[in-house]
Amino acid sequence: MSFIDAVFQYEFLQKALLTSTMVGILCGVIGCFIILRGMALMGDAISHAVLPGVAISYALGVNFFLGAVLTGVLTAIGIGFVSQNSRIKNDISIGIMFTAAFALGIVLITLMKSSTDLYHILFGNVLAVRPSDMWITLGIGLFVLSTIYLFYKELLITSFDSTMSAAYGLPIKWIHYFLMTLLTMVTVASLQTVGIVLVVAMLITPAATAYLLTERLWIMLYLSAGFGVISSVIGLYFSFTYNLSSGATIVLVSTFLFLVTFSFSPKHGLLWRTLKSKRKKKELANQPKIMLKEN
Amino acid sequence: MKEFQYCFFLPQLFPSVNFVVFGQFLIRGESFMVSAITVNHLNVSYHGNDAIQNVSFSVSPGKLVGIIGPNGAGKSTLLKALLELIPRDTGEILMEGKDISEVRKRIAYVPQRSNIDWDFPITVIDTVLLGTYPNLGIFKRPKKKEKALANNCLEKVGMGEFANRQIGELSGGQQQRVFMARALAQQADIFFLDEPFVGIDVSSEKTIVTILKELRDSGKTVLVVHHDLSKANDYFDELILLNKELIGVGEVEKVFRSEILAKAYNTQFPFFKEIEVQL
């Protein structure tokens, strides 16, 4: 049975498709701001740091969304606190704090639940998406996208020139932590689809691919969301057809898109850059001779 | 009209001063002006190390002022402290007689070129358009009016033809002119520029100086952090000479003298005596 037939026939596949499309858009859009602010590592950190929150929520019987956002944001604050109050640089601080949070999460989950749950949280299982998960993802999606739409101007200027933004009175620290909160929410939305470990790939790879193709932020946002969706849908196809982990197939498709762009992008691609510099060298090689003759 | 505005908020500033005095000010009209920037006993430190010690000065509106001093003298720190981008230990800063939070949007700030990510996906015209953001409300996007303004400002610095380039494709001087255009688009009353002439070509420097002088002539106040002594006396009306402490402040003729400059520089340059001869 073909993938398309299966989509029409099975409700679980429809849910998986809808959820992973949403995740593709969300990660693509928020990922642009993450890489432009030089916070790729921070994306990795926050995504891992939601694990203890998820565990605690399970234990308390509340929606795991609450706990995840809480520990995600706390970790972001902890990272900032350590690097601002000592000689420890930001990347070191990230390395310390997120591994600590992640380790705590693993201990908590193994104490409370079976290891199958841990496996699903870490690596995602989009084909087992429950209706409630799907609605959470859609809800988070709408919230995050409309916030980015409303605060686009502020996000753009604080990402590009934070000093000017602060000079005219924007609360850049609050905007940073607000973005971290959005990032945590996106991670939670992606739990089922790609899992904690690989969500950072969905945040960074489509955005980086788009970054190689355009000089305008809003185009980058659309392209990145597009690459996210393409990766999700094709990845889901491979996952379903060959019975592979959905997170892994989705990430591999997005990596493939990146590599193609990296090689052939018109302006920043490897191929054109090499061709251009070769042409330039040829030009220069011809010029001195003429000048010598003139002398 | 201006005098009337001043007399409205003056009583709040100097509540102890007799009102009759204000009458005299009003009659004398133009002779009285609230200073654009007033700094009283400013102290700034980084982790307990002094960066600025007990600095006081005031700048009248309509002046083009250079902040000069040797490396590590705290010039950029002073600029950032004025904008309250970094906290101060003690001291008072007033802009147009008010707390800075009230006038922030009317201060344009041009950062050092090295602080910008030149690979950012943004075009020249969109960079200039950022200058209109402070005066746009939250949730509001730049419309036709703002875009026309940005185009005008870009033309003014002679960069109109580069509008759709990515900013990283420009030369250093062109980049600095684009940032000058962005400051113009903010339609500010006070301009702060941090080392605008570092690593730029002669014609860009000329363009920017001309614009700064035009701004000054139209009554704006301009503060420029400048490290190069050679042109300081051509460019500025007044100088703030800094080496952690305030060494000298006032009109260029009074401050730009070898014996005063030596006080700021000779600890760093043992060979200063030679330069002094040229001055």
Q: What would the pLDDT profile of A48-102 be if each residue is shown by its tens digit? A: 999 999 888 888 888 888 898 899 999 999 998 998 888 898 899 999 999 999 9
Give percent of chain A above pLDDT 90.
Answer: 52
As a whole number, mean pLDDT of residues A271-278 equals 86
As a whole number, mean pLDDT of residues B103-120 equals 91
As a whole number, mean pLDDT of residues B181-207 equals 93
Q: What is the pLDDT, as a whole number, of residue B269?
A: 54
Q: What is the 3-state secondary structure (H, E, C) of A108-140?
A: HHHHHCCHHHHHHHHHCCHHHCCHHHHHHHHHH
* Mean pLDDT estimate for chain B: 83
Interface of A with B in 1-30 (CB under 8 A): none
Question: Rounded to whole angstroms, what are the CA distances from A212 to A57, A115, A206, A268, B124?
Answer: 40, 40, 10, 6, 18
- Tell whether the model's pLDDT for residue B85 goes beyond 60: yes
As a whole number, mean pLDDT of residues B148-166 equals 93
- Per CB-CB distance under 8 Å, the chain A contacts of B117 are 36, 38, 160
- Tell whether the model's pLDDT for residue B3 goes beyond 70: no
As a whole number, mean pLDDT of residues A164-191 equals 91
Q: What is the pLDDT, as a whole number, of residue A144?
A: 95
Pairs across A and B, CB distance < 8 A: 67
As a whole number, mean pLDDT of residues B31-40 equals 78
Local confidence band at A266 (pLDDT 50, 70, 90 cut-offs): confident
Q: What is the pLDDT, as a whole number, of residue A249?
A: 92
Does the interface predicted TM-score (ipTM) exceed 0.95? no
For B221, the token pair is 């106040």
Q: What is the pLDDT, as a whole number, of residue B177?
A: 94
As a whole number, mean pLDDT of residues B35-58 equals 89
> Is the Cβ of A61 closer than 8 Å to some Cβ of chain B?
no
Q: What is the pLDDT, as a whole number, of residue B267?
A: 59
- Per CB-CB distance under 8 Å, the chain A contacts of B101 are 169
Local confidence band at B260 (pLDDT 50, 70, 90 cut-offs): confident
Q: What is the pLDDT, as a whole number, of residue A196?
A: 87
Instruction: Output A262 or B33, whichever has higher pLDDT.
Output: A262
Local confidence band at B47 (pLDDT 50, 70, 90 cut-offs): confident
Question: Rounded to whole angstroms, what are the CA distances from A145 to A79, A172, A185, A264?
Answer: 26, 20, 11, 30
As a whole number, mean pLDDT of residues A254-283 equals 89
Cβ–Cβ below 8 Å for A169 and B101:
yes
As a whole number, mean pLDDT of residues B164-190 equals 94
Out of A152, A160, A166, name the one closest to residue B122 (CB). A160
**DSSP result, A2-60:** -HHHHHHH-HHHHHHHHHHHHHHHHHHHHHHHHHHTT-HHHHHHHHHHHHHHHHHHHHH
> Is the Cβ of A266 closer than 8 Å to some Cβ of chain B?
no
- Per CB-CB distance under 8 Å, the chain B contacts of A160 are 116-117, 120, 122, 127, 130
Local confidence band at A161 (pLDDT 50, 70, 90 cut-offs): very high
As a whole number, mean pLDDT of residues A231-258 equals 92
As a whole number, mean pLDDT of residues B41-62 equals 89
Question: Rounded to whole angstroms, what are the CA distances from A106 to A52, A56, B23?
Answer: 7, 11, 76
- Tell whether the model's pLDDT for residue A235 goes beyond 90: yes
Identify which of B254, B258, B217, B226 has the alpha carbon closest to the alpha carbon of residue B238.
B254
Q: What is the pLDDT, as a whole number, of residue A290?
A: 53
Interface test with B, best of A83, A165, A215 (most B CBs within 10 A): A215
pTM value > 0.95: no
* Mean pLDDT estimate for chain A: 88
**Residues B7 and B15: beta-carbon distance below 8 Å:** no
| Helix (H/G/I), strand (E/B), else coil: B268 | coil
Cβ–Cβ below 8 Å for A36 and B120:
yes
Q: What is the pLDDT, as a whole number, of residue A289?
A: 57
* Kind of pairing between the strands at B221-225 and B49-59: unpaired
- Per CB-CB distance under 8 Å, the chain B contacts of A156 are 122, 130
Indicate the DSSP class of residue B98: B
> Is the Cβ of A117 closer than 8 Å to some Cβ of chain B?
no
Q: What is the pLDDT, as a whole number, of residue B29?
A: 40
For A241, the token pair is 């057809």
Indicate the DSSP class of residue A63: -
Q: What is the pLDDT, as a whole number, of residue A129?
A: 82
